[in-house]
Amino acid sequence: MTVQSNTIAAPLAAPAGSEPVSPPESVLSPGSVLSPKKRSYLRKHPAVTVGGILLLLMILIAVFAPFLWTVDPTAISTARRTRVPSELYWFGTDMLGRDIYSRVTYGARVSLLVGFSVAFLASVIGLAVGLFAGFVRWADGIVMRIIDGMMSIPPILLAIALMALTRGSVQNVIIAITIAEIPRVARLVRSVVLSLREQPYVEAALSQGARVPRIIFRHILPNTIAPMMVQATYICASAMIVEAILSFIGAGVPPSTPSWGNIMAEGRALWQVRPHIIFFPALFLSITVLAVNLLGDGLRDSLDPRLAKSL
Amino acid sequence: MLAFIVRRIITTIPVMAFVALFVFSLLYIAPGDPAAVIAGDQASPADVEKIRASLGLDRPYLIRFGEWFYHVLQGDLGTSIFTSLPVTQLIAQRIEPTVSLMLLTLIFAVVVAVPMGVIAAWKAGSWIDRCVVGFAVFGFSVPVFVVGYMLAYVFALKLDWVPVQGYTPISQGIWPWFKNLILPSITLGFVYIALIARITRATMLEVLQQDYVRTASAKGVEQRNVLFVHALKNAAVPVITIIGIGVALLIGGAVVTESVFAIPGLGRLTLDAILRRDYPVIQGVVLIFSFVYVLVNLLVDLVYTLVDPRIRY
């Protein structure tokens, strides 16, 4: 037996949903835009609702950062260094007198960009690699040995090692984390392909002369989408954490671009006297990752009940 | 059994070979020319070429890999660019704090997480269960250094129960050593506990539905024995697997935890090496950590056969 995939994407059995007694339709005025079917889905999966709302909020904050009463997040002012939170500086200021509220607000852009990009890229590339390994018999052994090798390097260490090769930038962080995450997706896809290609209906399709691309689009992909989407949300969450860690230890996004990780890195020296510099980015990061994780758990439970049970 | 052990050890060879190749390539494609660094600013291009030839840097990739790997097998991981000390010596100096931290965390996490998962599964749906499930989601969402600063702020800075930062070698007494490692271990164990508790709960939920569990309860076996002997033993394989896989989280987390609590371990060594672009050191640390990770999972596979006699290879 070898190292399994899904380290982070590990199971969390369905949160015992406290299903509230449904209130009369007329009371639900804000929700009445949704169809009754969608509304009952959201009621059954409160995790999806809560996670979705929080994530949407963060996306809005990231997109509309310039309009949310922020100032230039890189503006340095020696006159107002290390202020504690006040009416004027909501989250206080850092060692260089930069407004932390503005930095945290703009920092949402980096986290979300890294999370979504890594989830998307790792899924697409992992899918391709997994399909290749699953269908091309002779390549399977080689590809899987490489994947085993990559997975035997702890992901954060792999990302750190890759970042050591280049200079810090958002783009390089995305590439480094993507490379570290690809093996997990590839393994998942390959395992789905291997189990499906033994299914009688796939064999039947093959014996009728169906070509591999047709098999992939008709039979393999529809069965891969659900577990892959769930995997993608977990990758998104872990990518945001890894980005913060990389930036925190100084191997990630450079200080000129505010990210939650590097704001905390700059607060490190002063954390004993000015904990607010670390507190606010930490809070935002934790809420965002929590939102994505809740969304992932909810998606897993609803998209594929079998998966929720078997994991 | 012996045949299995041998076969299992052989399967780790290609994995380790890949890791070695990857780690070597890291240095190979790393920016910066060691020959130019050694030659200094005054050197002419011809001098640099001469040094490059004398270091063997002008030879093909595979030959250099072979030579490097031969040295690694003999325990020679090269020389640090920054300190000019052998990498193995640097690692040896820093290994105690990291091993202490990881072992303590491992023990602490397993002792806390497994009962947590068992009780959650036993009382499925209750408030205890919901707390455990909630903690598991929470544990995955809060980055390790955030946990570290929160704990340090409350328990070290405000309450003053334990030292804020630093490390005391075990040779200076068990208690000072332990006291310094309490907060880092809880910090590092946070995600790990969430992971183990979650898997234990999920596996136990399945096992508790089995007929023999009902039979054991029916014939009057004590509840505690049913849970921790009959059921847990049969849930052991996935739980042990995740304990092994989770070591990756411990390794990654140790780098960060050591930096939060100013522990002079391998994690600090890695960070310093990255900031100074000291590639031989980065290589050495990645190689050592990956080797440990592969070894742990090899052990896990061997433990399977002990806990579950049904598994025969």
Measured CA distances, B123 to A37, B201, B273 (Å) = 32, 10, 48
Contact criterion met (CB < 8 Å) for B22 and A149: yes
- pLDDT score recorded for residue A124: 93
Task: List Cα–Cα distances, B113 to A266, A311, B82, B201, B234, in angstroms.
Answer: 34, 18, 42, 10, 17
Q: What does the pLDDT read at residue B312?
A: 62
Judged against a pLDDT cut of 90, whether residue B68 lies above it is answered with no
**B209-237 exposure pattern, b = at least 16 Cβ within 10 A, e = fewer:** eeeebeebbeeeeeeeebbeebbbebbbb
Q: Which structure tokens are listed for A195?
A: 């189990």
* B138-193 pLDDT per residue, tens: 888 888 888 888 888 888 878 878 787 778 888 888 888 888 888 899 999 988 99
Residue B5 backbone zone (phi > 0: left; psi -120 to 50: alpha; other: beta): alpha
Strands (E), A84-123: none
Q: Looking at beta carbons, which residues of chain B come within 8 Å of A146? A: 18
- The three-class DSSP label of residue B86 is strand
Which residue among B247, B259, B301 sits closest to A1, beta carbon to beta carbon?
B301
Do residues A166 and B30 lie in contact, with contact meaning Cβ atoms separated by under 8 Å? no
Q: How many CB atoms lie within 10 A of CB A216?
A: 16
pLDDT (mean) for A134-141:
84
- Dmax of chain B from CA atoms? 88
Nearest Cβ partner for A16 among B129, B136, B259: B129
Q: What per-residue string of b and e applies to B124-157 under the rule 16 or more CB within 10 Å gives b? A: beeeebbebbebbbebbbbbbbbbbbbbbbebbe
pLDDT of A203 over the 60 cut: yes
- What does the pLDDT average to over B64-80? 83
Predicted local distance difference test score (pLDDT) of residue A18: 37
Give how far Cα B301 sits from Cα of A183, B110, B244, B272, Å.
21, 18, 9, 35
3-state secondary structure of B165: coil
Q: In this structure, what token pair is assigned to residue A37?
A: 């079917």
Q: HSE (CB half, 13 Å, CA atoms) of B246?
A: 28
The C-alpha angle with vertex A268 and arms to A264 and A273, in degrees rounded to 5, equals 115
Q: Is A141 exposed, middle or buried (0-12, 13-18, 19+ CB in 10 A)?
A: exposed
How far is A213 from chain B, CA to nearest CA, in Å? 31
Q: A-chain residues within 8 Å CB-CB of B259?
A: 248-249
Q: State how far the Cα of B130 lies from the Cα of A50, in Å rounded to an integer.
A: 16
* pLDDT for the residue numbered B185: 92
pLDDT band at A39 (very low <50, low <70, confident <90, very high): low
Interchain contact, A282 vs B137, CB within 8 Å:
no
Residue B219 has pLDDT above 60, yes or no: yes
**Chain-chain contact of B130 with A16 (C-beta, under 8 angstroms):** yes
Question: A274-300, pLDDT tens digit by residue?
Answer: 778 788 888 899 999 999 988 888 887
Asked whether residue A261 carries a pLDDT value surpassing 90, the answer given is no
Q: What is the pLDDT of residue A304?
A: 59
What top-level class would CATH report for the domain B89-307?
Answer: mainly alpha
What is the arithmetic mean of pLDDT over A133-147? Answer: 85
Whole-angstrom distance, CA of residue A155 vs CA of residue A280: 26
Q: Do the Cβ atoms of A266 and A277 come closer than 8 Å? A: yes
| Predicted confidence (pLDDT) at residue A259 exceeds the cutoff of 80 | yes
What would the pLDDT profile of A109-131 be if each residue is shown by its tens digit? 889 999 999 999 999 999 999 98
Q: Which residues of B95-117 are buried (b: 16+ CB within 10 A; e: fewer)?
A: ebbbebbbebbbebbbebbbebb
Domains in chain B: boundaries = 2-73, 89-307
Distances (CA, A) of A180 to A151, A183, A207: 8, 7, 38
Task: Locate the domains of chain A by residue range.
Answer: 74-292
Give the C-alpha distances (Å, rounded to integers) separating A234 from A77, A192, A291: 39, 18, 11
CATH class of A74-292: mainly alpha
Predicted confidence (pLDDT) per residue in B120-129, tens digit: 988 888 888 8
Of the candidates B201, B256, B282, the beta carbon closest to that of A161 is on B282
pLDDT of A26 reads 40
- Closest Cβ opposite residue A157 in set B199, B286, B304: B286
Residues of B in contact with A154 (CB under 8 A): 247-249, 251-252, 289-290, 293
Q: Which residues of A touch B277 (CB under 8 A)?
A: 164
pLDDT over 50 at A24, yes or no: no
On whether the pTM is more than 0.80, the answer is yes
Question: Comparing A6 with B256, which gets the higher pLDDT?
Answer: B256
Of A3, A12, A264, the CB nearest to B198: A12
Tens digits of residue pLDDT in B90-134: 898 888 899 999 999 999 999 999 999 988 988 888 888 888 888
Q: Please list every residue in chain B whose beta carbon sits closer than 8 Å to the beta carbon of residue A172.
A: none
Helix (H) or strand (E) holding A37: helix A36-44
pLDDT of residue B244: 87
Question: Which is higher by pLDDT, A278 or A302?
Answer: A278
- Selected residue with higher pLDDT from B54 and B281: B281
At A178, the pLDDT band (50, 70, 90 cuts) reads very high
Residue of A143, A157, A158 best to disrupt the B interface, most CBs of B under 10 A? A157
